[in-house]
Structure 1
Amino acid sequence: MRHQQRPQVLGVDPRLILVFELNASIDADEFRRAGLRVVDSSNGLLVVAFADDPELADFRERLEALAGGVPEGRQSEPYAQFFDAINLVRPLSPQDRVTPELASAIREHASDILRIDVECWHPGTGDRAQEWLSEARAGIEAAEGRVVDTLIDDSAGLVLLRAYVHASRIMAVAELDAIARMDVLPQPALPMPELYSLSAAELPEVQAPDARSAIVGLVDSGVASGHPLIGAAVLASDAIGTGIDEDQDQHGHGTMVASLLLHGNVEDAIAPGLPLRPICRVVSARVLDANNEFPMDDLWENDLREAITWCVNQGARIINLSIGDSRSPFSPPRQMSAASVVDALARELGLVVVVAAGNSRPADYLDAISEASIDEYPRVLLNDGATGLLDPGTSLLSLTAGGLTDAAASGAHSSHETLRRQPMGKPGWPSPITRKGPGPGQAVKPEVSESAGTLGIEEGVLVSNDAELGVVGASAEAGRLLSWDVGTSYAVPLVSRVAAAVASKFPTFSAALIRSLVLVSTERLPFADNWEGSESVRLEAERALVGYGRPSIGRATESTSHRAILVAEDSIPVDGVHIYEIPVPSSFMSPGGKRGLDVALAYSPPTRVRRLDYMANGMEYHLVKGLPLDEVAEVFARVGEQEDRGEEGEDAIASASGLGSNLVKLVPTTQTRSRGANQLGRRVFHHRLNASDEPMFLVVRNINRWDDDTARQPYALAVALWRDEGQPELHAELQALLETEVELPVEIEIEQ
């Protein structure tokens, strides 16, 4: 047979690995009786099997019996059911083994050595698994690669190697029949020696930030203002609280936070060796002692108020709070004390405040630490009663930052990499140390998430001392410039950084509009999409652990040819309605691909900690298509009457008008969004829109709870219209429609 003439690959004899594409499932025993051993049936209609016998004698015998026709006394050919279920039999190709990410890395880094994980087939027995692993190792070494660790777990059916192989030789390695899958792993931007012993002379030049850039107040353990990554951006620092006399960082927490705020991913910023310019300026209020704790004799709410006020007096409009009270996680319904202080100051002083969700401990919420914990921890975290947000993470007028893991592997900064240490979670999953929402009144919390690091599991033990699992930043320790840690504290400055970029580019924008632009920049993190249960349950889990998603500077500050941002700021009367027309370019309506619309709203109502309705008023918005303005205005003028009869949100609007399909349902629902002061709704259109879908109106409502009847509530909107790349462009046509800035005017105001 052709298999017998195949040459050796990298000195290794070929094996017969076949892919069976099926139209109906076949039991593994049927393959075994045909002389084939199934090595992968994870996809029920695609089975991978290998044959010890290169002649495939048993398989061919069955084929010959099938070809012989229906024997006397039988109704069908022998083995007809087996062969009828097979659409195609083909060999496994090198392209089958290489992930799209590795294929992309081979193209983009053709002259580099890549760090890869290699999974081999497990042929069923330990001895044979060792034989196949040895074949893969021999092939990698023949390709001048280096294997740094191997792992065989017979009970899990797992055979793994970690290796470093030149990009030009990877497809040759992929020819090895013993290999099932190859994937690329990220390589740390800084090698181990630089992470541990980088000197100031080896750092790139750090320039002063732009004199017009935003000022961010850091309320933390202070900063080491002499650190070369930080010093140029520090405008002022002070010590606040009993017994804290020194404004410099004696713990290291605040210094690391500052470096992430100024430079983002510190490793990636340093590695190219190009000059660095901090994105903003910093004022530092030290409220934490050398143990990273508030003074014992102080009400920390008082220290927090004093520190925020001091930062504002130094010019800060954005406040970074990477702190939290671990003594008592949020337990509904009452708002927490420090959060209420932060909310009052955010409203009074017009601030963008970013707070941490707080840290949890997997050792506390997991009954046992095992390999299963690597994938199962998000469900346990979500259902544990003690993993709620920490004060002031429940602040409704702040953006609360949850933590994400970005680690795809571990140990690259160690002297010996080990496959036995596996990161908890996958890139884009909630970090195992984050905390869950919702917040007071079931508000979506956290709203945003960013890198916080993860933990590893090695032989049933949690591992934290691994730089590849953590977040790398500046160190305040004498003689060391860089360090790493894990915590939602480090997600906060990465979100504050997005807010600072918006404030620097658009210095006249209000705090509410900055919050709206941060929200509309987020990209979903659908980590729960494969969970069992309904879609609504999966989306609820997503919101509780990672909020609306991960924000980015580019998406918050720039429109592109295929994504246009519209903004609006106004104030609305109590129980009032504002209606905006969304300009819809013809390119948005044309067929092909997906298109979508994201709407963010932020506002800062009066708050009272002793009221069950914590916020004085609630705002909501609705998207209506295909109706004239006067009809939309008439519908929403009647909605208040329906609510007086006990109907709420979309039900009230549908009842008042029979809008039906003219009311565009956003995700999450109006009822879910409107529980908070930072709201985001999304809609993806998979079908073509037509003239009957125009015009589109965004209707904003302000519903009074206990506010003054004469009050007006300031608010801000950010709307993003987008289309798939490769489809007609949007932005230029929108600018032409609006003639000036891409800013939405109120078409009509209704007072009820």
Structure 2
Amino acid sequence: MAKYDHLELVRLPEQLERRKHGGGSPPPDRDGPRHSAKLRDELNAARDEQRRRRKPEFVNPALILRVQMTGALQEADWEQLGLTVLSSDADRTLVLFASNDEMAEFRTRLDAYQRGAPAGQKNAPYNNFIGGIETIGSVEPRDRIGIRFREDGLVEMADFQDGQAYLIDIEIWDLGERRLRERKLDDIVRYIEARGAEVFDQYVGPSITMLRARLNGVLVRTLLTIEEVASVDLPPTPGIVTAEAMDMVLAEAPPLNTVDQTAPVIGIIDSGLNAHPFLDGIIAGCGFRQSPDRISGNLRTQFSVIPGQRFR
């Protein structure tokens, strides 16, 4: 729940189901031992890098991998290994979540592929799967910088200044189970608040997990290194404001038609209406901010036609 009613997080639409991309071409002919050794080295490097970046406050040994495929994406094979496909791009790049950073079953397939084709068979075991993997790596901190920051020229970790405050939205990867995402969110909130920063709002939906906070540049740079963080960005802003939609001063407003004393009366129980000259003589007692719509409907439409019946 938001700590402050006036700082509620803007609810973004839920993510649609991930689009499955085409099957792709067969895997290229490869030197099995050399290719499997290359992938094993890349996997070890990604694991070791993420272990170095991991903060003591985040004890779960999860692994987030960026995998470039050349053939079919083989999402079913990754899921059979217990990995969660977080995203897939048209350039045949997958982002994968492994709940354990050893990935023992994947290494078993690498070993089988490395031994080559068994007697009487043309291809090594898992040829389509392992042979279709081009590279294995990590999601880098700069990859987590959101599009609105990039549009403002902040494209590298070093662009976030120590002494500057940033109001940001932090999105966590859709790791699967809700309780797992809630636990990751709680870890991040505790980390932020322990360092004197302020968390304004949190949201855990069916597929979106976000929080909004005000942080200094040091903390922003730290969050960019947390594997479970999908993106760090500025909050969304409206594409248009009311003043741009309708710039009118009272002296230029057209005359209002007289309210018939027999006009229907609409009773609404609410509060919070500020005085407005267009509502003079119409509101009895308290009102509320939707009253103009109930009385005149859309004002732009009302001013473009002959005013019809008004309500009290």
Q: Taking structure 1 as the reference length, what is the TM-score of the superposition?
A: 0.26
CA contact (8 A) 2:175 2:181 kept: yes
What are the Cα deviations for residues 303-341 of structure 1, in whole angstroms up to 9, with x where unaligned?
A: xxxxxxxxxxxxxxxxxxxxxxx78x9xxxxxxxxxxxx
Q: Is 1:67 the equivalent of 2:55?
A: no
- Residue from 291, 294, 299 that aligns with 2:279: 291
Q: Secondary structure at the match of 2:183?
A: helix
Distance 2:122 2:221 in 1: 48
- What value does the CA root-mean-square deviation take over the aligned residues? 3.8
How far does residue 144 in structure 1 lie from its aligned partner after superposition?
Answer: 3.7
How far does residue 18 in structure 1 lie from its aligned partner after superposition?
Answer: 0.4
Q: Is 1:127 the equivalent of 2:115?
A: no
CA contact (8 A) 1:21 1:87 kept: yes
CA contact (8 A) 2:144 2:232 kept: yes
Distance 1:68 1:117 in 2: 47
CA contact (8 A) 2:85 2:96 kept: yes
Output the amino acid matched with 1:182: V
Structure 2 match to 1:139: 191
Q: Is 1:391 the equivalent of 2:294?
A: no
Distance 2:99 2:165 in 1: 34
How far does residue 120 in structure 1 lie from its aligned partner after superposition?
Answer: 0.6
Output the amino acid matched with 1:150: Q
- Residue from 134, 145, 148 that aligns with 2:200: 148
Structure 2 match to 1:88: 135
Higher relative contact order (CA 8 A, sep 6+): 2
Distance 1:18 1:10 in 2: 20
How many residues of Structure 1 are paired with residues of Structure 2 in the alignment? Answer: 216
Q: Is 1:222 the equivalent of 2:251?
A: yes
Q: Secondary structure at the match of 2:109?
A: helix
CA contact (8 A) 1:35 1:53 kept: no
CA contact (8 A) 2:160 2:220 kept: no
Structure 1 match to 2:58: 12
How far does residue 137 in structure 1 lie from its aligned partner after superposition?
Answer: 2.0
CA contact (8 A) 2:160 2:217 kept: no
How far does residue 66 in structure 1 lie from its aligned partner after superposition?
Answer: 1.0
Distance 2:237 2:249 in 1: 31
Q: Structure 1 residues 137 and 243, CA, compared in 2 at 3 Å: closer, same or farther?
A: closer
Q: Structure 1 residues 51 and 26, CA, compared in 2 at 3 Å: closer, same or farther?
A: same
Q: Is 1:169 the equivalent of 2:219?
A: yes
Q: Secondary structure at the match of 1:290?
A: helix
Distance 2:106 2:160 in 1: 43
Output the amino acid matched with 1:222: A
Output the amino acid matched with 2:138: P
CA contact (8 A) 2:74 2:129 kept: no
How far does residue 174 in structure 1 lie from its aligned partner after superposition?
Answer: 1.2
How far does residue 93 in structure 1 lie from its aligned partner after superposition?
Answer: 1.4
CA contact (8 A) 2:161 2:216 kept: no
What are the Cα deviations for residues 285-311 of structure 1, in whole angstroms up to 9, with x where unaligned?
A: xxxx63389xxxxxxxxxxxxxxxxxx
- Give the gaps of 5 or more residues in structure 1: 189-217, 224-238, 245-249, 253-288, 294-325, 330-355, 361-389, 393-752
What are the Cα deviations for residues 339-358 of structure 1, in whole angstroms up to 9, with x where unaligned?
A: xxxxxxxxxxxxxxxxx9x3
How far does residue 359 in structure 1 lie from its aligned partner after superposition?
Answer: 5.8
Distance 1:10 1:83 in 2: 33
How far does residue 35 in structure 1 lie from its aligned partner after superposition?
Answer: 3.8
CA contact (8 A) 2:54 2:226 kept: no
Distance 2:72 2:237 in 1: 40
Distance 1:141 1:124 in 2: 25
Superposed counterparts of 1:404-483, under 5 Å: none
Q: Structure 1 residues 143 and 90, CA, compared in 2 at 3 Å: closer, same or farther?
A: farther
Question: Kindly, what percent of the aligned residue pairs are identical?
Answer: 23
Superposed counterparts of 1:714-725, under 5 Å: none
What are the Cα deviations for residues 523-554 of structure 1, in whole angstroms up to 9, with x where unaligned?
A: xxxxxxxxxxxxxxxxxxxxxxxxxxxxxxxx
Q: Structure 1 residues 391 and 172, CA, compared in 2 at 3 Å: closer, same or farther?
A: same
CA contact (8 A) 1:12 1:138 kept: no
Structure 1 match to 2:167: 115
Q: Structure 1 residues 137 and 108, CA, compared in 2 at 3 Å: closer, same or farther?
A: closer
Q: Structure 1 residues 251 and 62, CA, compared in 2 at 3 Å: closer, same or farther?
A: same
Q: Structure 1 residues 143 and 170, CA, compared in 2 at 3 Å: closer, same or farther?
A: farther
Distance 2:124 2:191 in 1: 44
Q: Structure 1 residues 241 and 65, CA, compared in 2 at 3 Å: closer, same or farther?
A: closer
Superposed counterparts of 1:455-534, under 5 Å: none
Output the amino acid matched with 1:136: I
Distance 1:37 1:241 in 2: 63
CA contact (8 A) 2:203 2:211 kept: yes
Output the amino acid matched with 2:224: A
Q: Secondary structure at the match of 1:175?
A: coil
Distance 2:254 2:85 in 1: 67
Q: Structure 1 residues 138 and 242, CA, compared in 2 at 3 Å: closer, same or farther?
A: closer
Structure 2 match to 1:58: 105
CA contact (8 A) 2:161 2:218 kept: no
Distance 1:116 1:56 in 2: 33
What are the Cα deviations for residues 344-401 of structure 1, in whole angstroms up to 9, with x where unaligned?
A: xxxxxxxxxxxx9x369xxxxxxxxxxxxxxxxxxxxxxxxxxxxx837xxxxxxxxx
- Residue from 123, 140, 159 that aligns with 1:76: 123
Q: Structure 1 residues 10 and 161, CA, compared in 2 at 3 Å: closer, same or farther?
A: farther
CA contact (8 A) 1:39 1:48 kept: yes
Distance 2:118 2:132 in 1: 20
Output the amino acid matched with 1:148: F
CA contact (8 A) 2:199 2:213 kept: yes
Structure 1 match to 2:25: none
Q: Secondary structure at the match of 2:251?
A: coil
Distance 1:127 1:47 in 2: 24
Q: Secondary structure at the match of 1:96?
A: helix
How far does residue 48 in structure 1 lie from its aligned partner after superposition?
Answer: 0.8
CA contact (8 A) 1:33 1:58 kept: no
Q: Secondary structure at the match of 2:116?
A: coil
CA contact (8 A) 1:15 1:50 kept: yes
How far does residue 51 in structure 1 lie from its aligned partner after superposition?
Answer: 1.6
What are the Cα deviations for residues 69-100 of structure 1, in whole angstroms up to 9, with x where unaligned?
A: 11123221111111232221101111111125
Q: Structure 1 residues 108 and 133, CA, compared in 2 at 3 Å: closer, same or farther?
A: closer
Q: Structure 1 residues 145 and 45, CA, compared in 2 at 3 Å: closer, same or farther?
A: farther
Output the amino acid matched with 1:57: A
Output the amino acid matched with 1:221: L
Q: Is 1:160 the equivalent of 2:210?
A: yes
Distance 1:35 1:16 in 2: 12
Q: Structure 1 residues 12 and 150, CA, compared in 2 at 3 Å: closer, same or farther?
A: same
Structure 1 match to 2:271: none
Distance 1:57 1:36 in 2: 12
Distance 1:16 1:140 in 2: 22
How far does residue 180 in structure 1 lie from its aligned partner after superposition?
Answer: 1.0
- Give the gaps of 5 or more residues in structure 2: 1-43, 239-246, 259-273, 282-295, 306-312
Distance 2:256 2:73 in 1: 73
- Residue from 79, 89, 94 that aligns with 1:32: 79
What are the Cα deviations for residues 545-594 of structure 1, in whole angstroms up to 9, with x where unaligned?
A: xxxxxxxxxxxxxxxxxxxxxxxxxxxxxxxxxxxxxxxxxxxxxxxxxx
